[in-house]
Amino acid sequence: MATAAPSGARVQVQLTYDMSKALGVERFELDGVTTVADVVRLAQQRFEGGAGSFEELTSRAAVAVNGVLTSHRRGMRTALRDGDTVSFVKAAAGG
Amino acid sequence: MINGYAGRILEIDLTTERVEWKPLDEDIARLYIGGKGYGTRLLYDRTEAGIDPLGPDNLLIFATGPLNGSVAPQSNRFAVVCKSPLTGGIGNATCGGSFALGLKKAGVDVVVVRGRAKRPLRLEIDGDASEVNFVDATDLWGKGTYETQAILGKKRYHAVIGPAGENQVLYAGIVSNERIAGRTGVGAVMGSKQLKAVSVWGSRKLDMEDPDKFKAYTKEVRRIFKDHPVLGESMKRFGTGGIVNTTNARNILPTRNFKYGHFDGAMKISGEWIEDHELKGVKTSCIHCPVTCGRDVEVDGKVVKGPEYETLALLGSNLEIGDIKKVSEWNYLADDLGMDTISLGATLGFAMELVETGAIQNADGALRFGDPAGISEMIRDIAHRRGLGNELANGTRRMSEKFGGAAFAPHVKGLELSAYDPRGSFAQGVEYATTNRGGCHVQGASMYLESTGPLTINPQNLKLKADLPIVQQNLACAINSMVLCIFTTYGIVPKAIHAMNPNSWQHKALSLALENSGPVFRWAQSIKGSPMLWFEKWLTYITGQKFSSGHLQEIGGRIFNLERMYNLREGLTGADDTLPDRILYEPTFEHMKSGHPLDQLLPLYYKKRGWDAQGIPTARTLERLKVLH
Ligand code: SF4
């Protein structure tokens, strides 16, 4: 996460269950992204024409890079590196 | 007698088959409420140090509290307290189902069982007649918990063990309906006494100080619960399994014997997946609970209780099994055999790693990560203590003493870790290390405010990580003494927080404020004001005593310190407040150089608890909390 690859990174994107249901895919790969904002924007494009509203789904989901919430890093400006996993994550209670 | 209590303790000696009815000690009830607190005090006072947990001198205490027997949501749980055969320290577990209601109907607050029966026995407690029958249970011995309860019938309330308890599997539990008092081997203690089942009935009603206020307020709470995003929505829809994808995304889902925190197959063992693909018929609940966190699935053509989060993680991702049908099958099997799926899954994962390293060589092709072959048979072998199963029946600590692998044996004080990896949840790690019964999450559940809930702090710095576990552990001690379901605490975070966009600056500001609240956080909890939360009000309306957050923190702190004193008496020391080397030294996050920073947090925790550098409560702390009064 510390430094971005100059030409953008290749990352895995892991969706929440609801997102994955709407898109019909659990995770996908994105190439050429430098920040989390890029991932959110490109993920949104994937949703166009798909079921459900991306805004609605993301308004309840935080974003984590390799398990660390971006709110504890640089938010949407958090830089990405090759091999990172960017996950959308919803709050939940378990037992 | 204080309202809310039946006023009677039933003492049963299985060796002599003698029974005594005694009055409840009101002073103890005032100091420790009931449930786990009252039971711990009895165990401390009435057993000698160093007794054999599986010998006749150990007490098996079933304890209710003043909320039991009411119609308050989540209020029908009982606590079991004894010396733990798994840890050698304090043993306890709580259980839903219906047995707590039965005890209160029978007019019994606490049942204390000692001695050892000469043959398999079951107890019938007729509360109205104040009679106890010792019934030969040879015909039930060997039967599963479901069949046993079916034979005993639906008209009475039962707590039973399965073959795992009979064979003293060190993590055997006690079952009521389809729920289990799973942790610390309470079922092994029941088995060691040759006690197969306790059945209870009666027609008493609960006396309350202010029944009208209780009734009206409970109606309101039901409405609040119905409208709450966790208690009325996510837990209802997805059960506790709704958290699998979250812990996976946060890299704290135990995977491959806690080596990793992320499992690629997590989605297919999640609560959402179960909702969409596996759910059969009804969602189930403990008596009077509208949350209905249980869900039924199909196993071998039968509709049975489905797995909850801990089971999905420990028997799923931890073994690298992404097949929900297999996890459901093993969950049902473990429940029927009567054992704790947390310790079971953690022990299986540990054994798999021992097979991988070559330390175990006689697994006959079973016990491989990602491979379900032979697991069902191994679970049966554990319950019946056959072959290699006899080793796994002793849990990870004893296995590591025999086969090696202590560095990756996932336990604290002998109790296997629950399914939140502390490397991504530092306060939870402190909680695991210091919780008196060992590596358990429901004795505080710090992870909710740290890693998984709607408002979390940065889980990987030192801020609040010594304060949070103290507040949470104290609260959990109080809740387990009422006896209420710990999931009720999820309701404390209001709906408005859930509605916030987690990526907004407002959310971030709130999270930072919480993270930096330190002493203020603990001070705020300690204020003895008016009852605010539902359980504080319920307790107040039922007992007529005043309960607020400050009262519960004080009582919870008293119970926690008493447990600590019990452990110290039994030979545990500060050195037992630790985490497995894997958790302490192996990083699972790329920015980490090592694992959990317990060495920095533990001294802080001790100090804030009022303990000395060795983790011993100071005389001042014991006096301030009236621990042994
Ligand atoms: S929330 Fe679940 S475990 Fe707790 S009382 Fe309700 S049904 Fe039982």
Residue B8's pLDDT is what? 97
Distance (Å) from CA A75 to ligand 1 centroid: 36
Dist CA B350 CA B420 (whole Å): 16
Domain boundaries, chain B: 8-201, 241-404, 423-625
**Do the beta carbons of residue B436 and residue B560 sit within 8 Å?**
yes
Chain B residues with CB inside 8 Å of A26's CB? 267
Partner-chain contact A89 B245, CB within 8 Å: yes
Q: Is the dihedral of CA B158, B162, B168, B174 positive or negative?
A: negative
CATH T-level assignment (fold) for domain B423-625: 1.10.599
To the nearest whole Å, the CA of A82 is away from the closest chain B CA by 13
Q: Is the peptide bond before B291 cis (omega within 30 degrees of 0)?
A: no
Ligand 1 site residues, Cβ closer than 6 angstroms = B 74, 96, 285-286, 289, 291-294, 485, 487
**Do the beta carbons of residue B202 and residue B106 sit within 8 Å?**
yes
- Residue B413 is which amino acid? K
Q: Which domains does chain A have, with CATH numbers?
A: 9-90 (3.10.20.30)
Q: What is the DSSP letter of B450?
A: I
A residues 52..91 contacting B (CB < 8 A): 58-64, 66-72, 75-76, 85, 87-91
The answer to whether A26 faces chain B, any CB pair under 8 Å, is yes
Taking residue B304's Cβ as centre, other Cβ atoms within 10 Å add up to: 19
Partner-chain contact B503 A68, CB within 8 Å: no
Which residue's CA lies nearest to atom 8 of ligand 1? B286
Instruction: Tell me the CATH architecture of domain B241-404.
Output: Orthogonal Bundle (1.10)
Partner-chain contact B272 A18, CB within 8 Å: yes
Chain B residues with CB inside 8 Å of A16's CB? 245, 249
Residue A2's pLDDT is what? 46
Residue B172's pLDDT is what? 98
Probe residue for ligand 1, chosen from B230, B293, B534 as the CB with the greatest number of ligand atoms within 8 Å: B293
With a threshold of 0.90, does the pTM exceed it? yes
Using CB atoms, pick whichever of A18, A76, A95 lies closest to residue B310: A95
Residue A22's pLDDT is what? 83
Instruction: Find the closest chain B residue to A18 by CA distance.
Output: B272
pLDDT less than 50: residues of chain B: none
Residue B281's pLDDT is what? 76
Partner-chain contact B235 A20, CB within 8 Å: no
**Do the beta carbons of residue A7 and residue A48 sit within 8 Å?**
no
Taking the CA of residue B76 as reference, the ligand 1 atom at the shortest distance is: 5
Residue A4's pLDDT is what? 47
Say whether domain B8-201 belongs to CATH 1.10.3720.10: no
User: pLDDT tens digit string along B474-529?
Assistant: 999 999 999 999 999 999 999 999 999 998 999 999 999 999 998 888 888 889 99
**Do the beta carbons of residue B585 and residue B594 sit within 8 Å?**
yes
Q: Exposed (0-12), middle (13-18) or buried (19+): which is B609, by Cβ within 10 Å?
A: buried
**ipTM score assigned to the predicted complex:** 0.92
Report mean pLDDT in 10-residue bins for chain A, 95 residues. 66 93 89 94 78 71 95 93 95 91
Q: Exposed (0-12), middle (13-18) or buried (19+): which is A29, by Cβ within 10 Å?
A: exposed
Residue B287's pLDDT is what? 87
Partner-chain contact B503 A62, CB within 8 Å: yes
User: pLDDT tens digit string along B182-192?
Assistant: 999 999 999 99
**Do the beta carbons of residue A86 and residue A39 sit within 8 Å?**
yes
